[in-house]
Amino acid sequence: MADKTLLFHISDIHFGLEDDRSLDWVMQEIAEKRPAAVAITGDLTMRARHREFSAACSWIRALDVPVTVEIGNHDLPYFNLYERFTDPYRRFHAIEALVERKLDLPGLAIVPLKTVRRWQPRWPWSHGWVTDRALERALAMIDRLPKGTRALVACHHPLVEAGTHGKAWTKGGDHALAELAKRKVLATLSGHVHDAFDIVSETPEGSVRMIGAGTLSQRIRSTPQSFNEIAWDGATLDVRVRSIADVPTKSMQVSEVPEDAMPPRKPDEPVAPVGAVPRVDPPVH
């Protein structure tokens, strides 16, 4: 490991509903392994409350290693719509102030790509959206990198679906991914769906590796809390998903009610197949 650059990719801590045991574990791992950087791909908070951002700041500061942070859909004001429209990133700025601008990653750069919006002409506003402006900004950063430096593009939403239970529905994601393929980025790093993945996605311009980190919150979906350890040796990117593993599946919490959720059945009620429409007999006259 001596000649490899180690990164920790963590996501969706959701302070306000964080998982303390997972956070203690990750902090311990960071203290022992001293990664060159920790990339956090959004949803630091649950509802963007001031106390949640303050907890996030304290935790990040205590890591004592360089950190990059992307904004997630949960990090925009949720209760204060006036602020959400007029100054959506104000609360997040306190976190950005902690972020390292200069990372010591030989031949590697972490480039941010914003995938959240203060509002969208569709519901819910939690879905991903890559605006032209956000994409242009990220592409310009990639194009300005020194020759030979490879880009890891950090964003909150997966740009296209990655086969996870949770979906990102990222508008403009296909186009963004194709533009990243043109520039031969090393990979995208994302969160949002709360389950880890490491896949290769095809675009008309070539393929892009997509790496997703799970969650460190109590809001687990299909898998227990996890994070990614990424090692770069100048030629190969190795991804290891580190899972806390012993969280029982029955404690799983999801942010949306599944489509097949049924109300509790009364003891004498016949079992209807999932998705069946209850049969109503025509009235007898």
Positions touching Fe ion (CB under 5 A) are 12, 43, 72-73, 192
Q: What is the CA radius of gyration of the chain?
A: 21
How many CB atoms neighbour CB 72 within 10 A?
28
| Least Å from the CB of residue 231 to Fe ion | 25
Q: Which is nearer to Fe ion, 35 or 191 (CB)?
A: 191
Q: Is the dihedral of CA 202, 233, 69, 34 positive or negative?
A: positive
| Least Å from the CB of residue 12 to Fe ion | 4
C-alpha closest to that of 185 among 220, 160, 213, 149: 149
* Calpha distance 219→207 (Å, rounded): 31
Q: Which is nearer to Fe ion, 44 or 135 (CB)?
A: 44
| Least Å from the CB of residue 43 to Fe ion | 3
Region of residue 234 (phi > 0: left; psi between -120 and 50: alpha; otherwise: beta): left
| Least Å from the CB of residue 176 to Fe ion | 17
20, 59 contact by CB (below 8 A):
no
Q: Which is nearer to Fe ion, 72 or 224 (CB)?
A: 72
Residue 209 β-bridge partners: 200
Q: Which is nearer to Fe ion, 43 or 70 (CB)?
A: 43
DSSP 3-state assignment of 162? coil
Q: Which residue is nearest to Fe ion (CB)?
A: 43
| Least Å from the CB of residue 266 to Fe ion | 36
Q: Which is nearer to Fe ion, 43 or 195 (CB)?
A: 43
| Least Å from the CB of residue 15 to Fe ion | 11
Q: Which is nearer to Fe ion, 5 or 112 (CB)?
A: 112
Length of the chain, in residues: 285
**How far is residue 266 from each of residues 198, 258, 277, measured CA to CA in Å?**
43, 20, 17
DSSP state of 129: B
